[in-house]
Amino acid sequence: MQLSRYIDHTLLKAEAQTAQIEKLCAEARENSFFSVCVNTSFVKTCAELLKGSDVKVCCVVGFPLGAMDTASKAFETSTAIANGAQEIDMVIQIGALKDRRLDYVRDDIKAVVDAAKGHTVKVIIETSLLNEEDKILACKAALQAGAHFVKTSTGFGGGGATVEDVKLMKSVVGSQMEVKASGGIKDINTAKAMIEAGATRLGTSSGVALVQGQTVQGGY
């Protein structure tokens, strides 16, 4: 297992500055991470810094609440793709899910999938705010909308990935979609447990420490 190729090297904090984004991209190149994951305003910078490398640029959309309207998410997606993003991590409308407005949830995801024009879309369901039925329904909506991954967490919702959630999500989507575990993955044992549970991508700000076998205190 080449752990580095599972990792979306992540910096999503509101106070992130250009020098930190430059460092993120340099670390991603050096460690052969799968991608960097950033907010929309940094996509163009990352695309320029990573040109000619195998590291992809992933952009979050509707982040971190998922509560903006569908047209706004689609527009943000189009902007990100135009600026060089190759993957999109979007947040579902969690309230709509809990209201059981499942057509809305599905169509909200599909609008992002359409705007991404064939690029990979990962659907963040924010598992810490959901019960088991919610999680199952969210995964089914993402599947119906044609997304490529379901993802556990934003890292900003009061909880992160758990092995149990990854197993549940994988049991729903099967071989039709992949699972990204994110939030709280700060040591090698946790990373391996997520992969063994079915995750094929890990979102973490601790990627460098993970590939060095270190444990990180704090962080995404």
Helix (H, G, I), strand (E, B) or coil at 175: coil
Q: Which residue has the tokens 């994988």?
A: 170
- What is the number of domains present in the chain? 1
**Count, residues in the chain:** 220
Q: How many CA atoms lie within 13 A of 48 on its CB side?
A: 8
pLDDT in tens, 59-89: 999 999 999 999 999 999 999 999 999 999 9
Give CA–CA dist 59/127, Å, rounded.
20
Using pLDDT thresholds of 50, 70 and 90, give the confidence band for residue 16.
very high
- Residue 216 covered by a domain: no
- Residue 133 covered by a domain: yes
- Summary mean pLDDT of the chain: 96
Q: Please state, for a pLDDT cut of 90, what percent of the chain lies above it.
A: 95
Tell whether the model's pLDDT for residue 204 goes beyond 70: yes
Give CA–CA dist 216/220, Å, rounded.
10
| Tokens describing residue 111 | 């609008």
Domain that holds residue 96: 3-211
- Residue 219 covered by a domain: no
pLDDT in tens, 18-33: 999 999 999 999 999 9
Using pLDDT thresholds of 50, 70 and 90, give the confidence band for residue 218.
low
- Residue 20 covered by a domain: yes
Look up 151 and say whether it is catalytic.
yes
**What is the per-residue pLDDT for 1?**
64
**What is the per-residue pLDDT for 217?**
66
Name the nearest CA neighbour of 55 among 43, 46, 45, 63: 46
- Mean pLDDT, rounded, for 156-176: 96
- Mean pLDDT, rounded, for 206-214: 91
pLDDT in tens, 105-164: 999 999 999 999 999 999 999 999 999 999 999 999 999 999 999 999 999 998 999 999
Look up 89 and say whether it is catalytic.
yes
The one catalytic residue in 56, 122, 180, 186 is: 180
- Residue 217 covered by a domain: no
0.75 surpassed by pTM: yes
Q: Which residues in the chain belong to E strands, given as ranges?
A: 7-10, 35-38, 56-61, 87-91, 120-124, 149-151, 178-182, 199-204
Task: Compute the 3-state secondary structure of the chain and give helix, strand, coil in percent, each to the nearest 5.
Answer: 45, 15, 35
The one catalytic residue in 110, 122, 151, 186 is: 151
| Residue 45, domain CATH | 3.20.20.70
- Residue 104 covered by a domain: yes
The one catalytic residue in 8, 56, 89, 165 is: 89
- Residue 18 covered by a domain: yes
